[in-house]
Chain A
Amino acid sequence: MATEWPQPRKQGLADALGWARRMADQHYGIWSWIATVDHKRIGIMYGVTAFLFFLAGGMEALIIRLQLAVPDGNIVNADQYNRILTMHGTTMVFLVIMPLSAAFFNLMIPLMIGARDVAFPRLNAFSYWVFLGGGIFMNASFFTGDVFSGELGAPDCGWFCYSTLSSKAFSPGHGVDFWALGLQILGIASLASGFNFVVTILNLRAPGMTLFRMPLFVWMTLVTSFLLIFAMPVIAVALFELLFDRLFDANFFNPDKGGNPLLWQHMFWLFGHPEVYILILPAMGIVSEILPTFSRKPLFGYPFVVFSGIAIGFMSWGVWVHHMYTTGLGTAANAAFGISTILIGVPTGVKVFNWMATMWGGSISLKAPMMFAVGFVAMFTIGGLSGVTHSVVPSDYQQQDTYYIVAHFHYVLFGGSIFALFAGIYYWLPKFTGRLLNDTVGQIQFWLMLIGFNLTFFPMHMSGMLGMPRRISTYSGDQGWDLWNLLSTIGAFTIAAAILIFIINVIYSLRRGQAAGHDPWDGRTLEWTIPSPPPHYNFERIPTVHARDPFWHEKYTEDAAGRPIPVIAGAANGHGEENGDHGGHGIHMPSPSYFPLIAALGFPIIATGLIYDYALVAVGAALLFVGIYGWALEPVTEEEAGHA
């Protein structure tokens, strides 16, 4: 399809970057990716990067499981174990699940609301580059120790980095500095994308796409984005306090000067519990799209699913003390937060029942995306139920800091988020590659992953109940934990095999996969009305929306019994043809820009400077300034540059 990028401006700031700019205006080649502001390309970069971090975090998990496979493991020493454990948790939360969700926000939101891009395309590119810089910075900490003698430099304080484990006295070296500065950088990326997606969803909806016609995934993205906007500044302040303590000898968490280490826990979990829902709400959104499509029924109780998502968003701010029952806040606080924690199970339960009712009586097609989605519902429910068991304070006193907790949150984060994200990949990736992933291989991956997952994490309920503490680097063989740990290790390698199958499936399908066509699943929402892969402007004409599930209603009507009847042939393909007609002439898309990358580069350099040499801070700040000013002053589109 002939598409034309606007020509670059020929004067001013763009002059200096003339060559790079011309390269960026191509549709291929590395520079076109580096300068891209196209939400689809940014989404793909988010996805690929997050998947690479997933492999890194997975390797760390395998090392942990190898170490714990048998008693008295000696694969790594206690110090190395602490660092690898910390990086496993940090990576999986901040560098895998959050950015994989962001990948779907980027890829899907404009398509699902009928827009040509996000509200702030360059801010979007900025988010990605900041995220990439933060992720690399965080992982670079590994190499700051004396690596060849086996001394890793990574943080050793756990993903929650409790005070005073994080103070200089107990964690000398730069690991914790890398951790805090790395999260600070990643927070900037999350904030920027939170702002961007709220504005995009509220402001760029196609005509007729009222809030209550929005697909569920769009709704959950909206709630997640609001949570990001309000939760990230809280952790930012906590991290600043930690950094001031470590870098400038302040006293926020210094008990000698009257500082209270519990302040860290309060702030971390005040951020941390909304964060839990930041990790799971996008997954719930994905599943809420897939279940109706493969059941050929509309989502059951749409308003209930929407409002329960919003309710979860609000309630997530009032449950953080359930992470802190054993810190001695007193009966009143524990009782109050115990009740709020039990209550937040209600909207979550509402969703689970609605998903089941969606499938009930539908003509279910068990393709790979559906398998993963159903797997999500089952595994997430188990994780949710074990969650309810430790909302009960006396019960939690027994479970606190045992493997039972590890089992619980892996059921919601792996059995929940990761299963749903794989469902999303099988469902939506063909829209962007133009080729379906192999379904049989997908089914094999699903079963292997489901078995491996349960083999890994179900025994952890047992080892936890038998008193095995979290975060220990080794254990003796007389505790009765041997069998459960060995099973967990076997399970972890089964998961690894499933991931390997997935990688092979993607590589194979990219080359040989069956062509997807614009609507491979008989979809319901706007993204299936346009070609796969979509043209860079997405919609030739912005669609007008008349109902929830707009594409479905274009294709089907109902008979007296409520069964779908196809509309006369031809009408259904209206969008596809319409959108192929004119090759997008006359649509002005935002120009590519290097400035988001230049600005984003400033952050890791500033952070490195804060740790090693303040001169670098000036260099990073200068880059940031150049980036921001260039960004503010360059024209956004060809039109504005006066070349229209």
Chain B
Amino acid sequence: MSQAAATGHLETSTGLDNRKLLMWLFLSSECLFFGSLIAAYLLYRDSSVTGPYPDELFDIPFTSVSAFQLLVSSVTMVLALAAIQRGNVRAMQIWLLATALLGLLFVSGQAYEFTQFYREGLTLETNLFGTTFFVLTGFHGAHVTVGILILMSLFAVSLQGRIQKKDSLNVELAGLYWHFVDIVWIVIFTLVYLIQPGAGSN
């Protein structure tokens, strides 16, 4: 206990690791962050006074593939953690790379989607849909990008042999963040893309 402050890897009052608790608190705070952004999107859903409107732009099959890539990346993340917990550094490196690549695919898909929408006349300034859509999904994309940076940093550090079985917590924390960002996308995908107000509602 006495050394917990100094070194961070000894017994704590709750038994939870300090860094893990920190990550959970951070993610709980992020819930309010994305909650506020999603609330703004939903509030303004039918308020755009000019087009283009969501149903004219959304390409559901394309975005579904993107969402699927992100979902699969959660599986590879789990495999990376399982690998290092067994002490298999090699397998962890492969799964970390796979996760980062899937994340990269997702972000590229989003970049492509943004470009398409822009070509069809949707910008931040166009209407409330453009404003709320780009800001909400943009912040999510930024979170995925940070996640990719974290994964690649872990990969780089592991090449120096600095991530062994005893350091698996580092991978676990990255995983918690990654899964959270993934879950947020499930919520956004459902609320923004899939459940669109039908014609005549409101």
Contacts and interface: CB of A to CB of B under 8 A. Distances in A.
Nearest to B160: A633
Given A191-B29, A258-B47, A116 B6 contact: yes
Interface residues of B, number: 43
A202 B21 contact: yes
B7 A119 contact: no
Contacts of A230: 28-29, 32
Interface string B35-63: 01100100110011110000000000000
SS of B interface (majority): helix
Contacts of B1: 204, 206-207, 542
Given A203-B16, A251-B125, A229 B25 contact: yes
Contacts, number: 145
Contacts of B18: 119-120, 199, 203
Interface residues of A, number: 58
A259 B128 contact: yes
B36 A238 contact: yes
Nearest to A202: B14
B8 interface: yes
A251 B132 CA distance: 8
Contacts of B37: 237
B118 to A, nearest CB: 13
B22 A120 contact: yes
Interface in B129-148: 130-132, 134-135, 139
B7 A640 contact: yes
B6 A590 contact: yes
Contact of B22 (A119, A248, A251): A119
B135 A258 contact: no
A258 B13 contact: no
A539 B4 CA distance: 13
Interface in B48-86: 48-50
B12 interface: yes
B2 interface: yes
B6 A244 contact: no
Given A251-B128, A258-B127, A232 B5 contact: no
Contact of B6 (A191, A240, A589): A589
Given A195-B25, A234-B32, A636 B8 contact: yes
B128 A258 contact: yes
A110 B153 CA distance: 33
B33 interface: yes
A267 B21 contact: no
Contacts of A244: 124, 131, 135
Nearest to B138: A244
A117 B47 contact: no
A588 B4 CA distance: 10
B151 to A, nearest CB: 14
Contacts of A251: 124-125, 127-128, 130-131
B2 A542 contact: yes
Contact of A241 (B5, B7, B12, B135): B135
Interface of A: 110, 115-121, 191, 194-196, 198-199, 202-207, 209, 229-234, 236-238, 240-241, 244, 248-252, 257-260, 263, 267, 539, 541-542, 587-590, 629, 632-633, 636-637, 639-640
List 8 A-B pairs, minimum CB-CB distance, nearest first: A233-B33, A237-B36, A203-B12, A117-B5, A233-B32, A258-B47, A250-B131, A542-B2
19 contacts: A110-B5, A120-B18, A121-B5, A191-B29, A195-B26, A199-B22, A202-B13, A203-B18, A233-B30, A237-B36, A244-B135, A249-B124, A250-B135, A252-B128, A252-B135, A258-B48, A260-B47, A541-B2, A589-B6
Given A202-B16, A263-B40, 13 more contacts: A115-B4, A116-B2, A119-B18, A121-B5, A198-B25, A199-B21, A203-B16, A209-B13, A230-B29, A230-B32, A237-B40, A244-B124, A539-B2
